[in-house]
Structures are given as structure tokens and as C-alpha cells.
Amino acid sequence: MSAKNDTRITAGPVTPLSSEYINWLTFANPGMLDRGNIDCMDYAIRHLPGGAPIVEIGSFCGLSTNVLAYLKEKHNVRNALITCDRWIFEGAENGGPLGDSSTVTHDDYRSFVRESFLRNVRMFSRADLPFTIELFSDEFFDAWAGNSRRRDVFGREVTLGGPMGFCYIDGNHTYDFARRDFENCDRYLEPGGFLLFDDSADDSEWGVRRVVREVAGSGRYRLVAKKPNYFFQKLK
């Protein structure tokens, strides 16, 4: 059956997810996660095209990671969740003081956020820990292309590589980085698989907004929703 005739391609609209668990999670787990992203994640996980991994680029303090793990449990999905982050943020690559603070540095901030990720994920995703690889996305995709065996931040080994079923792109939002993240995900994403771009709304000031327009115009992806970020399904 071709992707265009696959009923998963033409499934219903993205509807708001009501979840008491997520309400409690977002109270305790810091992060910048639009509720519309959660709705799109829920849709993607309910309509995955097969058993390929879910991949998250950028994890921060683990809120989106924990949401994805919860949605896997909610919908009885066993696809592996694989994430990557180096916890080095735009504008902070050279360290130095955090803003005009005289006591807190970007290195302190990085360590705090990384430790927060570990603590939050161990708490809320304890039954199904994701595999989190401490690499920049370019490095991660090089390892993926080489079917590399890597040790994750929880001390477990995992072999990378193969197709992907859903990619959440939330790394560096500048055009060049977001475009490479898209190209790398596109290389491995199965027909019927999903892409969600964070901070890609029409009023976004980030270069990723240009990337999603290019994806929408490619003819190879169906725009499933803007909530307000762009959420696509691969056609071919």
C-alpha cells in the first residue's frame, strides 16, 4: 500500500489533550513546552507508522522527554525514545557570567540544567527511561549514520541507526542548524512518520520559521496542524 493511500496519513484532526498527569508534571518539571506541542505529540504517538524510534533533539530539563514517555505509556507504545542534548545553549557557548550575575556562570547553569534533566527523568520516566545521548545534533546524526554503539547519560549502551517514526526538533533554532536537523531527520524518517518543530510558529523570530515554510512547500510532507508550531507527516 502506498503512503498516499495509507489511512494513517489521513487520520483525524489534532485535538486538545486533557490530562491531570501532565498538569501535575508541568507544575514540577521546568521547561518551555507549548500545550499545542503536547497535542501534536499525542497525535503522533497514536498514529506512528511502525516500531521505529521516537527521536527528540534537545531535552533541556526533561519536560518534553517526560511528556513523550508518558504518552508512550498512555497509548501502550513500545517504540524506543532516544534523545540528545549537550546542554550548551545559544549564546552561552563561551561560558562566562550568566547575564550580569557576579556569582553564577553559564557553566553553573549548564550543570544545573543537566542535573535537573537527570533528576526529572529518573522521577517521572522511571519505568521506561529514554536513551539520552550527550551530543550535539550534528554529532548525534553522525553516530546514527554509522550505527554507532553509545553509552547514554544513565550509563546504558544503545546502538543507534535505522529508521525513525517521529522526530521532535527542539535544538538550535537558527536557520542553518534547524535546516540540518530537518535534513538529518528526513533522511531516516519513515513514510507516515511525523516531524514537530518547536518555536516555528508564524510569529517566531527564529530561523526555524523559514525551515518549516520550505518543508511545507516541498510537496513531500502534509501539514497536519499549526498549534501554533508546525507539525508535519511525511508522505514519501
Domains observed in the chain = 3-9+27-234 (3.40.50.150)
pLDDT, average across residues 128-142: 98
pLDDT-derived band at 94, boundaries 50, 70, 90? confident
The span from the CA of 39 to the CA of 37, in Å, is 5
pTM for the predicted model, two decimal places: 0.93
What is the pLDDT, as a whole number, of residue 11? 59
Nearest 5°: CA angle at 46, between 29 and 191? 115
Contact 132, 59 (CB under 8 A): yes
Number of C-beta neighbours around residue 79 at 10 A:
18
Write out the E strands in the chain. Answer: 54-57, 81-84, 131-133, 149-151, 157-159, 164-169, 189-197, 221-226, 230-234
